[in-house]
Amino acid sequence: MKTTLNFDDRLIREAKARAARDGETLTRLIERALRDYLRPARGPVRDFRAELLTKRGRAVAGVDLDDRGLLYERMDGRD
C-alpha cells in the first residue's frame, strides 16, 4: 500500500543512511521498525534469583586445576 507520511528531515536522512549501510531500502527499514514496534509484548519481566549449590570436599592429589587436559582426563576416569 502506498501512503504519504511527513517525517523530520534529519530523521529520514539518518534512516536512509542506515538502510544503505544495512543493504536494504528505506521502505524495508520502516516496515521492520513498525513490525518490531507492533509485536506483542512478552509480558512482565519477573525477578530471577540464582541459587548456588555449594559442595564441601577436598582437593584431589595430583590434579592441577590450571591443566585443563589433565583435569578432563581425571573427570572422565582416565588416569
Block means of pLDDT (10 residues each) for the chain, length 79 residues?
A: 93 96 95 92 78 79 81 76
Q: How buried is residue 71: exposed, middle or buried, by Cβ count under 10 Å (0-12/13-18/19+)? A: middle
Domain count, the chain: 1
Q: Which of 30, 47, 50, 46 is nearest to 38 (CA)?
A: 30
Output DSSP code: residue 23: T
Range of the domain at 25: 9-38
With respect to residue 21, please indicate whether it lies within any of the assigned structural domains: yes
Domain-located, residue 55: no
Whether 25 maps to a domain, the answer reads yes
Closest CA to 71 of 60, 55, 54, 57: 60
Which residue matches cell numbers 588416569? 79
Residue 57 CB neighbours (<10 A): 5
Q: Is residue 27 part of a domain?
A: yes
Residue 68 lies in a domain: no
**Residue 78, pLDDT score:** 61
The pLDDT assigned to 13 comes to: 96
In a domain, 56, yes or no: no
